[in-house]
Structure 1
């Protein structure tokens, strides 16, 4: 009986991951409000009752989708830069990873969180709060990475880290917004140059950074 139960749990987990992978892609294009358990079941040719059993409500599905998107974001943006030691080059690599994540359309609609935040920024409730947390976590990570670079001697001591992070995030998000809206990709090169120029302006030793983006 235990083996049967274990197999049932494993099948449920696999189905949940399948549904959430499709949900994050759909939500990045059509919004979290566009998600429907029935639609996901039909598209994936799954039992509707089985899919409904995995998520108690549309809100539960939306929250699970945000959590799944967060995991994908960390995998593609946060983790790649961790191979570099703390310093200004790790900060640059983190920004580059974000641009690559958006440019390569890890989510078909560009940055999942940019799109979802625009959809829910003026609302209230659990979904809004989950998106606020996700965004705060990302900006907090970017700020910690910048502070570590400063502490490691890569960023000048008098640099305003909060202002630096605000500007870097703005460069990244502008590239994403322009690319998705106009379906063009030269904006990523512009953003990469803007990031590099901003970092060179606060670098103790600019030679630690590439000459060109």
Structure 2
């Protein structure tokens, strides 16, 4: 029991260290050499927990997805259904991209560009996470329609497309251009999108 617990703890430490690296250097920076140096472990020690860099990347994607859901999705579940929950989710999502530099940005979003033209299991896993998030947002929009907050003829697919466009623009402005007004601009843009979707 103790051995298994120690193994799980070590894997968690490795994944957290990989998370810190990927936030700044992308998946290309998450090599066994960089990771071993970052946590003070030998490469052979890493291989005892992850048999390949691909397996490590796949586990890292799951880890980031779990952290994202705990910080963005879960807190919004305590908010009333419909538009309030959607707005809480969006607010948490914007905060997710504004975290401190050492754990900053949305690493999975950045990786979409890193792997957009590369095939393989890592791209497939990223696609699954991205598609799952869009599905969640679409369900929230549909829920807002059902609750009477949004108009009945709302195209939820288009709503999510535009919402993601706002977020992508916000991410670039916030993380790369470091524009001090990014959050305000994104908030106004989201409000405009929501107002157009409201039931009149």
- TM-score normalised over the length of structure 2: 0.94
1:15 paired residue among 10, 26, 51: 10
Contact 2:79 2:85 in 1 (8 A): yes
2:162 paired residue among 163, 167, 190: 167
Give the secondary-structure state (helix, strand or coil) at the position aligned to 1:189.
Answer: helix
1:28 paired residue among 6, 23, 31: 23
Contact 2:58 2:125 in 1 (8 A): yes
CA distance in 1, matches of 2:33, 2:17: 13
Give the secondary-structure state (helix, strand or coil) at the position aligned to 1:46.
Answer: coil
Query: 2:49 aligns to what?
Result: 54
What's the Cα RMSD here?
1.6
2:125 paired residue among 122, 126, 130: 130
1:144 Cα deviation from its structure 2 partner? 0.4
Whether 1:115 and 2:110 are equivalent positions in the alignment is yes
Alignment map for 1:22-101 (pairs within 5 Å):
22-101=17-96
- TM-score normalised over the length of structure 1: 0.89
Contact 1:28 1:116 in 2 (8 A): no
Query: Which has the higher Rg, Structure 1 or Structure 2?
Result: 1
Relative distance call for 1:145 and 1:94 in structure 2 (3 A) is: same
1:178 Cα deviation from its structure 2 partner? 1.4
CA distance in 2, matches of 1:107, 1:71: 18
CA distance in 2, matches of 1:45, 1:131: 28
For structure 1, the 5+ residue unaligned runs are 1-5, 206-213
1:170 Cα deviation from its structure 2 partner? 0.9
Contact 2:97 2:175 in 1 (8 A): no
Contact 1:178 1:184 in 2 (8 A): yes
CA distance in 2, matches of 1:114, 1:70: 11
Alignment map for 1:193-208 (pairs within 5 Å):
193-204=188-199
Aligned length, in residue pairs: 200
Contact 1:81 1:94 in 2 (8 A): yes
1:107 Cα deviation from its structure 2 partner? 6.5
CA distance in 2, matches of 1:166, 1:107: 29
Query: 2:136 aligns to what?
Result: 141
Relative distance call for 1:163 and 1:106 in structure 2 (3 A) is: farther
CA distance in 2, matches of 1:79, 1:185: 28
Q: Which runs of 4+ in 1 moved over 4 A?
A: none
1:49 Cα deviation from its structure 2 partner? 2.5
Deviations 1:139-192 (A, max 9, x none): 000000100111111110011111111111111121011111112342121111
Whether 1:192 and 2:187 are equivalent positions in the alignment is yes
CA distance in 2, matches of 1:143, 1:58: 33
